[in-house]
Structures are given as structure tokens and as C-alpha cells.
Amino acid sequence: MPSKPRRPCKSPMCPNLCDTDYCTEHEHLDSRKQYDKTMRPQYRKLYATVAWQRIRQRILSEYPFCVLCEAQGIVTKATDIDHILDHIGDTILFYQRNNLQALCKSCHSSKTALSRGFAKKIQ
């Protein structure tokens, strides 16, 4: 009985063919995504609070440009508020003003992916 054809690994830029979503080199990415999905709901509700919405708006009005882009001499509108140190549900760290920074969507996505092990740092 013929088997299914092998398909490309779901990891970006990976040339390997595999029988599952990820090749053996990148199979850890699949388990991390599952782990992240199970952990997220425990503290996701913090983003819906009135206190968070007020802090978020205050920071975006005080810092309308992305901090990381500005450091490179690029002017980009900030759209996201980033936790410098990942709070992992710690409410004190979640609301701590000096742990927050304004970032553009691109920088925030890159930083989050890097901190969760889904991307490699580009130097």
C-alpha cells in the first residue's frame, strides 16, 4: 500500500521533507506551540481589563513611536505594548509601568517569537 508523499517541514526556510508537520530537527516547535496554547488562557484575561486598556492607551500617547525602530534611526508608529520581561501571568509584573514599552507590530511579533524560541536572532 503506498504511503502519503513527504511534505516540507513547517519551519520557515527549512528544506527538509517529513511525514509529520515538522522534521526531526524542528519537532520541538510543535510541542512548544501546544504548550503555549494550553498556558495562554490562564492569563489572557488580563489583557481585557479596564486597567490594562488605560495603561496601554497612556503609553501609546506618551510614546507614539516604536522604541526599537527609533534606536535604529527609523520612525515607525507604535501599535503594541510589549512586556520587556515576560509576565507569565504575574499580575504585578503585568501592570508594572517600567516593564512596558511601545513597539510597532513587526518588532513586537519578532521579539515575542524570539523570546518563545520560535525564531533565531538576526545579527
Q: Mapped to the 3 state alphabet, what secondary structure does the chain carry?
A: CCCCCCEECCCCCCCCEECCCCCCCCHHHHHHHHHHHHHHHHHHHHHHCHHHHHHHHHHHHHCCECHHHHHCCCCCECCEEEECCCCCCCHHHHHCHHHEEEECHHHHHHHHHHHCCCCCCCC
Name the region of 112 (left: φ>0; alpha: ψ -120 to 50; beta: rest). Answer: alpha
Model pTM?
Answer: 0.64
pLDDT of 123 reads 45
pLDDT of 81 reads 97
CA angle in degrees (0–180, nearest 5) for 115-120-123 = 110
pLDDT of 41 reads 58
User: Domain segments of the chain: what residues?
Assistant: 22-115
Tell me if 87 sits within 8 A of 43, measured CB to CB.
Answer: yes
Give the length of the chain: 123
Q: What is the pLDDT along the chain (123 residues), one digit of tens a residue?
A: 567 888 898 888 888 888 888 888 877 776 555 555 555 556 788 999 999 999 999 999 999 999 999 999 999 999 999 999 988 888 899 999 999 999 999 999 888 888 777 655 554
